[in-house]
C-alpha cells in the first residue's frame, strides 16, 4: 500500500493552451514536449487504514487550500479506479523544481503522484492508461509519463478515452539541450489554468492560435525525426510567441513576461546572428528556456549568465519517463 515514483518536468515546444472540458481536462489542441532530466518530482503515496482524510506534504511542509484539494481530488480518481473509496493516503512530495513558477511543477508533480498513487493502490495500468489518468490532474502532466519527445493527442471523444500522450522519439534519439534561464522563482499571479481559461473565453486571437497548430505539429515532428535543429527551434520559438500573443488579447489582458524576459529573447536572437544556433521558448511564467546543441554549451551558459537580472542558468539534457524507486 506504499510506493514511490519519480517524474520529470517537460517543456512544451508546441504548447497546450486551452481546454474544451475543464472537468476531465480535455484540450482544444494537441501539443508536443521534451522531457527534461534536470527538473523532477519524487512522490511517496501510502494508503493507511487509520487515516480519516488525505494528508499532503510538499517539500516537508503540510499543504492546505487549493493545492491540497487538487491532490485529494486526484486521489479520488485513483480510489475509484482501485474500487476502494474509503481508504485515505499520506502523500509526501519533493519538488526538485520551483513550484508554480512556470517551470511545469504541475507536470512532474501530477505524473509522479499518478505513478506512485496507482502503484500504492495496487492498480496495474499501461503507460497510455496512466497518461489518461494523469491528464486529469494537470494537462501537461500526461506528457511527463514518457521520456524523450512526447505528443499529447487531443482526441475527439467526449469521455476523454482517446486523449493521452504518446512517445514520438525516445530519450536517446537526440542529445538536444535546454538552458532554463531563471529570472524569478516566485509563484505566478495567473496560474496556467486561469490564464488559459481567460484566453479561451475572451481573446479574439484565440481562433488564430488554434488554426496554426496542425501545421506546426506536423512540421516539428518531421524536424525531430531527422534531428533538424534549425527547423525544430524555429517552429518552437514561433509557436511560443503565438501562445503568448493570445494573452495580450484577453480581457482583462495579461502577460507572463518581465522586462528581462524580453532581454533574454533578444540575446538569443543576437546569438543566432553571431553564428550560435539557439532558440527560446517560454511556458506560463517569465523564465525563458533556451534550446541548444551540446557543442555550444559553455558559450551559451556564459552569455546567458551575464545578462543583468538573470539569477541562475540551469542546464538540462533530455529526460526519461516515470520511474519507480
Residues that bind Co ion (CB under 5 A): 106, 192
Cβ atoms of residues 42 and 162 within 8 Å: no
- Residue number with CB closer to ligand DP6 (139 or 160): 139
Output the CA–CA distances (angstroms, integers) from residue 197 to 32, 153, 190, 287, in the order listed.
20, 20, 11, 21
The item of Co ion, ligand DP6, ligand ADP, none sharing an interface with residue 319, based on CB under 5 to 8 Å by kind, is: none
Answer for which of 20, 24, 67, 238 binds ligand ADP (CB under 6 A) is 67
Answer for which of 4, 31, 163, 239 binds ligand DP6 (CB under 6 A) is 31
DSSP string, 168-235: EE-GGG---EEEEEES--SPPSS-HHHHHHHHHHH-TTHHHHHHHHHHHHHHHHHHHHTT-HHHHHHH
Minimum separation from the CB atom of position 205 to ligand ADP (A)? 21
Rounded Cα distance, 66 and 176, in Å:
36
Binding mask 71-90 for ligand ADP (x = CB under 6 A): x-------------------
Question: Is residue 15 a contact residue for ligand DP6 (CB under 6 A)?
Answer: yes
- Residue number with CB closer to Co ion (250 or 278): 250
- Residue number with CB closer to ligand ADP (81 or 99): 99
Half-sphere exposure (CA, 13 Å, Cβ side) for 92? 7
- The residues that bridge with 4 in the sheet, in sequence order, are 44
- Residue number with CB closer to ligand ADP (223 or 321): 321
Angle at 246 between CA 242 and CA 249, to 5 degrees: 140
- Among the residue ranges 42-50, 135-143, 181-189, 288-296, the one whose residues contact ligand DP6 (CB under 6 A): 135-143
Q: Which three cell numbers stand for residue 292?
A: 541548444
Answer for which of 29, 30, 41, 247 binds ligand ADP (CB under 6 A) is 41
- Among the residue ranges 9-17, 75-83, 206-214, 291-299, the one whose residues contact ligand DP6 (CB under 6 A): 9-17
Answer for which of 106, 134, 163, 281 binds ligand ADP (CB under 6 A) is 106
Rounded Cα distance, 292 and 232, in Å:
11
Minimum separation from the CB atom of position 112 to ligand ADP (A)? 6
Answer for which of 25, 112, 179, 271 binds ligand DP6 (CB under 6 A) is 25
- Residue number with CB closer to Co ion (120 or 200): 200
Minimum separation from the CB atom of position 175 to ligand ADP (A)? 25
Q: Which three cell numbers stand for residue 103?
A: 517551470
Answer for which of 109, 223, 286, 321 binds ligand ADP (CB under 6 A) is 109
Largest CA distance in the chain: 63
Burial readout 90-119 (b: 16 or more C-beta within 10 A, e: otherwise): bbbbbbebbbbbbbbbbbbbbbbbbbbbbb
Rama region for 291: left / alpha / beta (φ>0; ψ in -120 to 50; rest): beta
Minimum separation from the CB atom of position 275 to ligand ADP (A)? 33
Q: To which residue does cell 505524473 refer?
A: 111
Rounded Cα distance, 142 and 162, in Å:
12
Minimum separation from the CB atom of position 109 to ligand ADP (A)? 3
Minimum separation from the CB atom of position 107 to ligand DP6 (A)? 6
- Among the residue ranges 94-102, 206-214, 273-281, 296-304, the one whose residues contact ligand ADP (CB under 6 A): 94-102
Amino acid at each position: 500500500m506504499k510506493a514511490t515514483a519519480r517524474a520529470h518536468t517537460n517543456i512544451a515546444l508546441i504548447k497546450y493552451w486551452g481546454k474544451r472540458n475543464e472537468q476531465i481536462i480535455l484540450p482544444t489542441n494537441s501539443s508536443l514536449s521534451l522531457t527534461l532530466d534536470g527538473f523532477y518530482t519524487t512522490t511517496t503515496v501510502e494508503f493507511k487504514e487509520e487515516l480519516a482524510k488525505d494528508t499532503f506534504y510538499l517539500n516537508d511542509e503540510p499543504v492546505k487550500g487549493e493545492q491540497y484539494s487538487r491532490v485529494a481530488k486526484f486521489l479520488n480518481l485513483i480510489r475509484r479506479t482501485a474500487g476502494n473509496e474509503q481508504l485515505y493516503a499520506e502523500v509526501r512530495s519533493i519538488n526538485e523544481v520551483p513550484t508554480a513558477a512556470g517551470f511545469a511543477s504541475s507536470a512532474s508533480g501530477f505524473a509522479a503522484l499518478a505513478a506512485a498513487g496507482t502503484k500504492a493502490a495496487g492498480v496495474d495500468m499501461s503507460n497510455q492508461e496512466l497518461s489518461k489518468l494523469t491528464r486529469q490532474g494537470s494537462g501537461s502532466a500526461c506528457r511527463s509519463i514518457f521520456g524523450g519527445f512526447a505528443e499529447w493527442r487531443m482526441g475527439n471523444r467526449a469521455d476523454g478515452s482517446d486523449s493521452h500522450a504518446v512517445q514520438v522519439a525516445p530519450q536517446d534519439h537526440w542529445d538536444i539541450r535546454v538552458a532554463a534561464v531563471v529570472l524569478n522563482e516566485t509563484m505566478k499571479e495567473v496560474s496556467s489554468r486561469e490564464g488559459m481559461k481567460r484566453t479561451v473565453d475572451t481573446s479574439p486571437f484565440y481562433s488564430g492560435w488554434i488554426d496554426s497548430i496542425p501545421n506546426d505539429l506536423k512540421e516539428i515532428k518531421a524536424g525531430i525525426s531527422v534531428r533538424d535543429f534549425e527547423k525544430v527551434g524555429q517552429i518552437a520559438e514561433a509557436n511560443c510567441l503565438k501562445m503568448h500573443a493570445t494573452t495580450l488579447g484577453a480581457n482583462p489582458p495579461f502577460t507572463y513576461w518581465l522586462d528581462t524576459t524580453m532581454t533574454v529573447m533578444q540575446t538569443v536572437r543576437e546569438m543566432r546572428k553571431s553564428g550560435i544556433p539557439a532558440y527560446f521558448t517560454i511556458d506560463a511564467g517569465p523564465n525563458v528556456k533556451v534550446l541548444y546543441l551540446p557543442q555550444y554549451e559553455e558559450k551559451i551558459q556564459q552569455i546567458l549568465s551575464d545578462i543583468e537580472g538573470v539569477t541562475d542558468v540551469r542546464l538540462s539534457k533530455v529526460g526519461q519517463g516515470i520511474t519507480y524507486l
